């Protein structure tokens, strides 16, 4: 499990050494299974990664980069950090940047989970719902058949290509054919889709039998129902049910993109309702690989066959 002593030591790169043990991903299929998992003392849960404020805004944390296959000194800083009294609440998930590949905690884990959960072949037909990102830049050389896309707004037709050569796709109405893909990857995107259940049905349509959806999104650990922050009305306007929350957006960097949903355990029921025969929350953490900041979550759903 995670060691505070290892994480909070300001060490530089370590000597070359064998890779850590394979990453453990706990497959949990209900809130009850999650509670049992916590009761066994195997998870730290959210909110545990705090430390006293210091004068050092930047520091290094030793760990193993799965993408580069070597031990490095991850770059950590107080970007996106919040402060309460004398404590700094670091955003470990969006920082811990590898000096070699430039990927942060979340993006390195995305590559790691994609390869270890989906076991893709070089020729696997994969759609990644981002294109203007370092994650696409890291994955495309490894998997030349990978297709990346962005969402440029409701006025564009899926399959349209921008002047920059970037493909537009709407995950609720894509241009991919029935059963044409082996995998769909979507990381911190589906919370910005007004109708995520429609997206689940669309992904099920375009996946081949045995295909897999792997995605991450804001997750409410201790609640069963998802939380709807905003919804799109029939006339196209947006009704805010909670204070608006915007996340960064590579297509519209000035305004950001609205968060519609924070996902709960009922997401697994929604995935099964869309046709997937198995769906689970994969929970993981690892000080050795630099996946720190409490338990991290991905959703995995497989199509029958």
Note the pLDDT of residue 202. Answer: 98
Distance CA 98, CA 101 (A): 6
Nearest CA among 97, 180, 111, 117 for reference residue 143: 111
Q: What are phi and psi of 232, to 5 degrees?
A: -90, 125
- Structure confidence at residue 222 (pLDDT): 87
Q: Which domains does the chain have, with CATH numbers?
A: 23-49+105-302 (3.40.50.150)
**Among 144, 151, 142, CA closest to 192:** 151
Q: 250 near 130, Cβ under 8 Å?
A: yes
Helix H or strand E segment including 204:
helix 196-206
> Is the per-residue pLDDT at 297 higher than 80?
yes
Whether the per-residue pLDDT at 144 is higher than 80: the answer is yes
pLDDT, position 253? 56
189-232 tens-digit pLDDT: 999 999 999 999 999 999 999 999 999 999 999 888 999 999 99
Q: Is 7 helix (H, G, I), strand (E, B) or coil?
A: helix
pLDDT at site 252: 60
Instruction: Enter the pTM of the model.
Output: 0.88
- pLDDT at residue 251 tops 90: no
Task: Report the C-alpha gap between 64 and 38 in whole angstroms.
Answer: 26
Is residue 124 pLDDT above 80, yes or no?
yes
pLDDT of 42 higher than 70: no
Q: Please check the confidence at residue 51 and state whether its pLDDT lies above 80.
A: no
CB of 201 closer than 8 Å to CB of 171: no
Query: Of the candidates 106, 291, 268, 72, which has an alpha carbon nearest to the alpha carbon of residue 189?
Result: 106
């Amino acid at each position: 499990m995670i060691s505070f002593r290892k994480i909070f030591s300001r060490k530089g790169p370590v000597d070359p050494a064998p890779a850590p043990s394979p990453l453990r991903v706990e497959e949990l299929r209900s809130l009850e299974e999650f509670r049992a998992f916590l009761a066994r003392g195997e998870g730290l849960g959210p909110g545990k990664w705090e430390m006293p404020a210091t004068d050092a805004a930047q520091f290094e944390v030793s760990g193993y980069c799965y993408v580069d296959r070597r031990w490095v000194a991850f770059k950590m800083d107080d970007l996106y950090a919040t402060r309460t009294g004398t404590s700094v609440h670091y955003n470990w998930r969006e920082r811990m940047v590898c000096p070699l590949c430039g990927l942060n905690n979340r993006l390195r884990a995305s590559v790691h989970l994609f390869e270890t959960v989906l076991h893709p072949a070089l020729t696997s037909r994969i759609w990644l719902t981002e294109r203007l990102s370092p994650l696409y830049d890291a994955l495309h050389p490894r998997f030349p058949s990978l297709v990346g896309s962005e969402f440029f707004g409701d006025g564009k037709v899926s399959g349209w290509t921008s002047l920059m050569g970037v493909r537009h796709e709407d995950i609720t109405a894509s241009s991919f054919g029935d059963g044409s893909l082996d995998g769909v990857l979507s990381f911190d995107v589906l919370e910005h889709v007004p109708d995520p259940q429609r997206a689940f049905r669309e992904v099920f349509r375009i996946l081949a039998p045995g295909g897999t959806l792997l995605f991450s999104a804001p997750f409410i650990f201790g609640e069963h129902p998802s939380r709807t922050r905003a919804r799109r009305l029939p006339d196209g306007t947006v009704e805010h049910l909670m204070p608006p929350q915007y996340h960064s957006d590579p297509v519209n960097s000035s305004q950001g993109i609205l968060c519609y949903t924070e996902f709960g355990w009922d997401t697994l029921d929604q995935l099964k309702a869309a046709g997937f025969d198995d769906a689970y929350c994969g929970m993981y953490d690892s000080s050795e690989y630099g996946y720190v900041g409490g338990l991290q979550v991905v959703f995995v759903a497989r199509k029958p066959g």
